[in-house]
Structure 1
Amino acid sequence: MDKSDVTLERMRTFVRVAERGSLSAVAREFGIGQSTVTRQLRELEEAIGVPLLSRTTRRVTVTDEGSRYYADSVQILRLVEQAGDEARGARGAAAGTIRVSCTSAFGVLHVTRLIFAFQDRHPDIGVDLSLTDERIDLVREGIDVALRLGPLSDSSMKLRPLGQSRRLLVAAPAYLAARGFPRAPSDLSAHEGIRMSNIAGSDRLNFEATDGRHLSVPFGGRLRIDHGLAAREALVAGRGIAPAHRWLVDDLIEAGLLVPLLPDYSLPAVPLSLLIVPERSGIARVRLLVDFLVEAIGNLPGIERSRA
């Protein structure tokens, strides 16, 4: 076997195994048998003449030679994809698939419709949308673009700030009729709270009063939930009071199913950002989606567009 056997298919398989650390995961991702993945890796290593991966019964790790080859392979595959983009661009049509990750509730209520509109505008572009509230490794999972709520710590990704997501305290009219309206943050101790179990610090609420004062009060309740759509259902069912993103409950407020509380006090907004895997940012279809989302998301309820 010689260097002509270093094919893009084998290189792409190696890159994904290096990123995921699992032959079986890559086999599932590509829709092929694990034996095919093993064969492609073996043929690539034979063509290059050095071991790229170290395999044990428990894990797959990249060798020193493999680390260098991985970095070069990522750049080669990116250039190949960009060359295809430029060729297709000559006839005016971006094509291919974009993998997008988004927080679940935001994705279901808003991003799915934005993706529909984007694909209507670009019919040759496919979108693989993954909805999860977990902070996944974008490179490992093969994601191109991710929409994230909250502070970010992954400095290796390209960041596009989208704005601030405004929150407010809400409850159902039936709950308030039975338990009364809180008039100040301190009154919340006598009420039933709906807490998000996957958000750190949800046992306290921080407010800023219209006169500039800052207050922090305990927030408790019998119901803890780890999904925004479930919290939305609990609110409508009158299970208690909860802080909610405006985009999560705006339609319910308009319909009279929920009531905003404590108008003289505001909750801190949450940053909304777009993360882009650097190696994918130059791909034409990725750039198109990023530009589309930056413009469209700023028009959603409760999103204060970033000035950056």
Structure 2
Amino acid sequence: MSKSLDRLTLLETFVRIADAGSISAAARDLDLSQPSVSRQLAELESRFKSQLMRRTTHDLSLTTAGAELLADARQLLDEWEALEEKHLETEETLRGKLKVVVPVALGQLYLLDTVLQFQHQHPHIALSWQLEDQNIRFAEVGCDCWIKIGSVPDESLIVEPLGQVERMAVATPELFEIYGRPKTPADLEKLPCVALEPFEGGHIPLTHAKGKTVTVSPPIRMTTNNISAVRKATLAGLGLAILPRWLIEDELNKHQLVDLLPLWRAPKLTICVASLPGRHRPRRLQSFLDILKVTVPKIPGVEPLSHKVVHRRDFRA
């Protein structure tokens, strides 16, 4: 085995340990013994003359040097894989691993069917489908792409918009019996509100179909960072909420929820997909992104964009 391959193997093992969260879990993933994986980590630390991971009986965490190496190792391994793929273009079958991070509700209700179809079409791809509503550290997570509703805080990534989400003020009909049905945006301030963090707080802008914008401040009865919890609390009658049509299409059709002000809408949010810049995209990733660009605009309440431009942020937050 050559020295260069030895180095790549050590980096691959290091990344696997970081992803798995423990040496024993990484050993199982790699089909190696735990002592063998420990020796590889020790050899890598010896080569870099630095402790990369802190190991205790119950926990494992990256040191500062380890976190820096992890990001560089992921990039190096991606580039090596891209180089292999570039010189093996004669093989048409898509292979390899693909890791995608996606919002929980969107990933469960709509995009999971897309993923399952993709898996059927490409059975040699090992796909990791991670549901996560919170912001991630892209390099540390080690994903290939991150589907996000709203702005992507990591300015170093390439961000491609996929569609815009229609959002509206909704509530149960039973709530009208207590507070009355609102006829104007100002009437919303008479109803309690279930708010989704970080998009809704004490002040909610609403725009009329003709362009006029007003801001309302209904009393907040409950806040949560999970959109499914907002939906459930709204269906339970806790208050009005600003929700996307894609999440409540069935409830609107069944009149379990009512669009309170059909001519007024909350600010649209963009569904986008983020990936790393400066790399040759593996064909499996590009194929998956191509499917997303077709599928996402077909989701109820998601408006296709007139143009889809790849946005490169050239500054850091």
Instruction: Sort the Cα spacing of 1:25 and 1:204 in 2 relative to 1 into closer, same or farther, 3 A.
Output: farther
Per-residue CA shift, 1:271-307, capped at 9, x if unaligned? 2110113377611111111111111111111111221
Distance 1:111 1:177 in 2: 37
**2:189 maps to amino acid:** S
Structure 2: gaps spanning 5 or more residues: 56-60, 309-317
Distance 1:23 1:263 in 2: 48
Instruction: Sort the Cα spacing of 1:240 and 1:30 in 2 relative to 1 into closer, same or farther, 3 A.
Output: farther
Distance 2:149 2:228 in 1: 15
The residue that corresponds to 2:180 in the other structure is 180
The residue that corresponds to 1:51 in the other structure is 49
Match status 1:193 vs 2:193? yes
Q: Normalising by the residue count of structure 1, what TM-score does the alignment of the two structures yield? A: 0.83
Deviation at 1:140, TM superposition (A): 0.3
Task: Please give the secondary structure, in 2, of the residue aligned with 1:120.
Answer: helix
Q: How many residues align?
A: 298
Task: Please give the secondary structure, in 2, of the residue aligned with 1:182.
Answer: coil
| Greater shift in the superposed pair: 105-114 or 50-59 | 50-59
The residue that corresponds to 2:148 in the other structure is 148
| Greater shift in the superposed pair: 231-240 or 297-306 | 231-240
The residue that corresponds to 2:312 in the other structure is none
Q: Normalising by the residue count of structure 2, what TM-score does the alignment of the two structures yield? A: 0.81
Structure 1: gaps spanning 5 or more residues: none
Instruction: Sort the Cα spacing of 1:98 and 1:281 in 2 relative to 1 into closer, same or farther, 3 A.
Output: farther
The residue that corresponds to 1:234 in the other structure is 233
Distance 2:80 2:62 in 1: 30
Judge conservation of contact 1:165–1:245 (CA < 8 Å) in 2: yes
Task: Please give the secondary structure, in 1, of the residue aligned with 2:274.
Answer: strand
Judge conservation of contact 1:166–1:303 (CA < 8 Å) in 2: yes
| CA RMSD across the alignment | 3.1
Distance 1:26 1:150 in 2: 36
Deviation at 1:131, TM superposition (A): 0.9
1:62 corresponds, among 61, 65, 72, to: 65
| Greater shift in the superposed pair: 106-115 or 26-35 | 26-35
| Greater shift in the superposed pair: 291-300 or 277-286 | 277-286
Instruction: Sort the Cα spacing of 1:272 and 1:119 in 2 relative to 1 into closer, same or farther, 3 A.
Output: same
Percent identical across equivalent pairs? 27
Deviation at 1:59, TM superposition (A): 5.0
Task: Please give the secondary structure, in 2, of the residue aligned with 1:232.
Answer: helix
Distance 2:269 2:48 in 1: 48
Distance 1:186 1:75 in 2: 52
Per-residue CA shift, 1:121-157, capped at 9, x if unaligned? 2222222111111101121012111111112231221
The residue that corresponds to 2:281 in the other structure is 282
Match status 1:135 vs 2:138? no
| Greater shift in the superposed pair: 214-223 or 31-40 | 31-40
Distance 1:4 1:126 in 2: 26
Instruction: Sort the Cα spacing of 1:23 and 1:149 in 2 relative to 1 into closer, same or farther, 3 A.
Output: closer
Instruction: Sort the Cα spacing of 1:77 and 1:277 in 2 relative to 1 into closer, same or farther, 3 A.
Output: same
